Structure 1
Amino acid sequence: MVMVPETAAPPGRAPAVGRHSSVVFSDDRQWAEHLCAFVRGGLDRGEQVRYFADTTDPERVLRALTDAGIDARTAVTRGQLCVSLAAQTYLAGTGFDPDGMIGLWHDAVEEASARGHRGLRAIGEMSWAARNVAGADRLLEYELRVHHEVFERLPLTAWCFYDRRLLPDAHVDVLAGAHLTHRGDPVAEPALHVAPLTDRPGFLMSGSAGYDTRSVVAAAAAAVRGASAPRVELDFTALRHLDAASLATLADAAAGRPGDAPLRVRQPPPSLRRLLELFPALGSEMEVVGR
């Protein structure tokens, strides 16, 4: 697990809720509009801007910016703009690793600050998640964790680009739902929606958790287990159903967390209450709140 310091956001920084956004689009015009608005805003603010491409040629990114009247070439020369391939950066080596990526964000923001930039903003193309990339199954875990472990602590703004032409709609809906801010095409509410809590470390689960959503439950459990905060909460207030297998997955995650603080579960379904009654030892791993 990457351990990062617990620090409060400095006064005047934009709220973390608005600095990590999903951006869903379905054509090149929308892609260019989002790209140019994001990059222009960062350059105007004196931030460093990085674009991590997957299927897009980096030269095409620079041409789109230039065509929109942005002096991208000069920004690259002075080190304020960098367009690179995800395969050569955070997907290099053994593949995608949420812990490593969280650590990389801390390093990248520190480097941008050392170079005199007022912050860092980045775009990442997420189409690689639909391919057989090592660690792609951990993307949802990462999207859930970064709100508290990165954006609440760093002067970083990031937009995750989801191209509907390259990703299944159901996949896009779940991943976009893990962001607290959404831009672009509307997305449907998935059967099981998991998102970070805005006011404390933890996650809100709403909808129904069953056989068809087992991969989403597994990602939520991994986020619970990997979260660096000493106390984490699962809010089940809007959860309609939680089957036995999903319950077992989340209980295992609670037991696997480091430290002595139990996982807080808010308004758990009756099935979880019965489990805690049948197995009192789980009480040391889970603390029910909001009865």
Structure 2
Amino acid sequence: MPVARRAAARPEPDSPEGRHSSVVFSDDRQWAEHLGVFVRSGLERGEQIQYFADTTAPERVLRALTEAGIDAAGAVTRGQLSVSVAAQTYLAGSGFDPDTMIGLWFDAAEAASASGYRGLRVIGEMSWGARDVAGADRLLEYELRVHEEVFAHVPLTAWCFYDRRLMADAYVSVLASAHLTHRGEPYAVPALRVAPLADRPGLLMSGSAGYDTRDAVAAAAAVISGAAARTELDLADLRHLDAASLAVLADAAAGRPGGTPLKVRQAPSPLRRLLQLFPELDSVVEVVDR
């Protein structure tokens, strides 16, 4: 299967696109290496570091850091490092809610700054997304939203840990490809890739949108319908768009707040035909070809 290829020019670590990374691994050695690199860098930069565990015991995280030569105990004592579990963070309350989680990032970054740290660093184990957890079906929506809604505004660096032993490869591919920066093992290119645009509000959709990718289309639609700012949907690399997916995206565009149009770049022929049949959509969709 084809694997994702990263651009030769990597985003700057302090840019929004460089601070939100997917990390894919399949054994404990890789997990510990990524963990050590992340925490050591945060300590050197004077940032506060938080680890949100799911299946990993907090004491195991601290032990791995100590074995890597990092004074984890000292960092915990002075408040620079903390390890908590998903039930206290992502899944606090009745389940996962992207809106609540996005608000919490602002609060956490503000608290880190008030404590004298240069920024906030977070690792999140995302394996809970593959279980029957309330709100887990909104995980892709969340990964797509945080680039524009969080990382463009607050000094936060986050690595999302995807353990192949706990998540299906197809699901890992969809979630990992929603990040602009990737570390660790390569992953197969999903049938439909949905990712945030690096330089402006909006989404990139590439590949094929059909019945098998309806969950990814629904996540994209949720982002489109909820974005108040001018938003762009880049479809230049979309090879196929079936009628059901087209209807979902059209409904999302029509339901956008404030009447701001959705700019669609390189709209495929089915969408152009839909606009011809329903001219009232002209007020909610703006097609551009460059």
> TM-score, structure 1 length as denominator?
0.94
The Cα of 1:260 is off from its aligned counterpart by: 1.8
Q: Measure the CA separation in 2 of the matches of 1:236 and 1:141.
A: 18
Q: Measure the CA separation in 2 of the matches of 1:99 and 1:258.
A: 16
For the 8 Å contact 1:147–1:196, the answer to whether it is kept is: yes
For the 8 Å contact 1:173–1:190, the answer to whether it is kept is: yes
Which segments of structure 1 move beyond 4 Å, counting only runs of 4 or more? none
1:7 counterpart residue number: none
Q: Measure the CA separation in 2 of the matches of 1:247 and 1:187.
A: 27
Task: Give the partner amino acid of 1:97.
Answer: D
Q: Measure the CA separation in 2 of the matches of 1:233 and 1:15.
A: 20
Stretches of structure 1 that go unaligned for 5 or more consecutive residues are 1-11
2:194 counterpart residue number: 194
**Given the alignment of the two structures, is residue 90 of structure 1 paired with residue 90 of structure 2, yes or no?**
yes
Q: Measure the CA separation in 1 of the matches of 2:90 and 2:173.
A: 23
User: Kindly, what percent of the aligned residue pairs are identical?
Assistant: 76
1:81 counterpart residue number: 81
The Cα of 1:143 is off from its aligned counterpart by: 0.5
SS at match of 1:134: coil
After TM superposition, list the pairs within 5 Å mapping 1:41-80 onto structure 2. Answer: 41-80=41-80
* Equivalenced residues, count: 279
Q: Measure the CA separation in 2 of the matches of 1:24 and 1:13.
A: 18
1:235 counterpart residue number: 234
2:9 counterpart residue number: none
The Cα of 1:226 is off from its aligned counterpart by: 2.2
SS at match of 2:259: coil
1:126 counterpart residue number: 126
SS at match of 1:174: helix
2:256 counterpart residue number: 257
Stretches of structure 2 that go unaligned for 5 or more consecutive residues are 1-11
Q: Measure the CA separation in 1 of the matches of 2:94 and 2:218.
A: 21
Q: Measure the CA separation in 2 of the matches of 1:227 and 1:70.
A: 41
After TM superposition, list the pairs within 5 Å mapping 1:136-285 onto structure 2. Answer: 136-228=136-228, 230-285=229-284
- The root-mean-square deviation of aligned C-alpha atoms, in Å, is 1.1
Q: Measure the CA separation in 2 of the matches of 1:217 and 1:170.
A: 15
Q: Measure the CA separation in 2 of the matches of 1:20 and 1:276.
A: 36
> TM-score, structure 2 length as denominator?
0.94
Q: 1:36-79: CA deviations, max 9, x gaps?
A: 11001001110000000000000000000011111111111111
The Cα of 1:94 is off from its aligned counterpart by: 1.4
Q: Measure the CA separation in 2 of the matches of 1:69 and 1:199.
A: 38
For the 8 Å contact 1:13–1:155, the answer to whether it is kept is: no
1:14 counterpart residue number: 14
The Cα of 1:227 is off from its aligned counterpart by: 2.6
Q: 1:246-266: CA deviations, max 9, x gaps?
A: 000001111121112111111
2:100 counterpart residue number: 100
For the 8 Å contact 1:191–1:213, the answer to whether it is kept is: yes
The Cα of 1:237 is off from its aligned counterpart by: 0.4
SS at match of 1:190: coil
For the 8 Å contact 2:227–2:257, the answer to whether it is kept is: no
Task: Give the partner amino acid of 1:239.
Answer: L
Q: Measure the CA separation in 1 of the matches of 2:61 and 2:256.
A: 42
Q: Measure the CA separation in 2 of the matches of 1:271 and 1:110.
A: 46
Q: 1:101-120: CA deviations, max 9, x gaps?
A: 11110110000000000000
Task: Give the partner amino acid of 1:267.
Answer: Q
The Cα of 1:289 is off from its aligned counterpart by: 1.2
The Cα of 1:13 is off from its aligned counterpart by: 7.9
Task: Give the partner amino acid of 2:97.
Answer: D
The Cα of 1:224 is off from its aligned counterpart by: 1.1
